[in-house]
Copies of this chain bind each other. A is one copy, B any other.
Amino acid sequence: MEKQELGKTGYALNDPTAPIGVFDSGVGGLTVAREIMRQIPNERLIYFGDTARVPYGNKSKETVTKFSKQIVRFLKTQRVKAIVIACNTASAYALDEIEKELDIPIIGVVKPGARVAAEVTKNKKVGVIATAGTIQSRIYTDYIQGIQKDIQVIGKACPLFVPLVEEGLLEDPVTDEIATRYLNELKDIDIDTLILGCTHYPLIRSTLGRIMGESVTLVNPAYETARELKELLAGEGLLNPSTKRLGTNQYQFFVSDGADKFKTFANSILKYGILSAQIIHIEEY
């Protein structure tokens, strides 16, 4: 029994057929879930979006950590085999503290994005656009400079991008104008790599790419996170070996508020139709 529970990975739950837990402050993490679905299509996912308390980006470390711990406790009740923090702010503020206490593997979106940026930059000038919280935490700077000390990392908080994306202004003169203001100083510094450090930003990727120009590589942490997750699960013997169809329950969605609104947004991002999202009283976990 003990062997089965602690298994060869050293993790308490060592069941490759169990789902992966993915969480975000709201809908942004769906861009990460979408990448996981694409890169490891044989996995089951439990997604939680904290729509009652969204956004996290301008809230304190203490509050974001408290919220994240409640969500991790909820995901554990769903017997997930691993957890992905699909939110940059929560990854920046809460990952290290949660990791210490957790008995299953957990990854955030920050480290995978930072690693790729450190690899691809040639002129050693990397820009990071993100929420105020992520920028204030200096986590991208610390992590990139931990890999290579002489890389200059320039962070820029872009608080209006999330509301603009959520309003659907993905291709719009107003989004262009705001993006131009935010990105100007990064252009002036002549960065060659730009990390999209908030899960909403890939949805305005074409606007950001046009303003920065072709010489700047855009790094989407969602893609890198899904790749690292796959490697991590493979390394631990936790990839789902089953090849039988997983059925309609393969992907399950939970939110803390506004299930219908979430469903509508999710269906605009994901390829297949979400049938339902279930409301959870997350503050009780």
A positions within 8 Å CB-CB of B: 51-53, 58-60, 62-63, 159-160, 163-164, 166-167, 173-174, 177-178, 256-258, 261, 283
Contact = CB atoms under 8 A, between A and B. Distances in A.
A174 B281 CA distance: 38
A132 B107 CA distance: 35
B51 A59 contact: yes
7 contacts: A58-B258, A58-B261, A59-B257, A59-B258, A160-B167, A173-B177, A283-B283
Contacts of A60: 257-258
Contact of A174 (B166, B177, B257, B258): B177
A183 B261 CA distance: 25
Number of this chain's copies in the complex: 2
Contacts of A51: 59
A31 to B, nearest CB: 20
A9 to B, nearest CB: 35
Contacts of A59: 51-52, 257-258
Contacts of A178: 174
Contacts of A63: 52, 256-258
Contacts of A177: 173-174, 177
Contacts of A173: 177
Pick the 7 closest A-B CB pairs, nearest first: A163-B163, A63-B257, A283-B283, A52-B63, A53-B53, A59-B257, A60-B257
Contacts of A174: 174, 177-178
A176 to B, nearest CB: 10
Contact of A167 (B159, B256, B258, B283): B159
Contacts of A256: 63
Contacts of A163: 159-160, 163
A105 to B, nearest CB: 29
Of the listed residues A164, A174, A261, the one surrounded by the most CB atoms of chain B closer than 10 A to its CB is A174
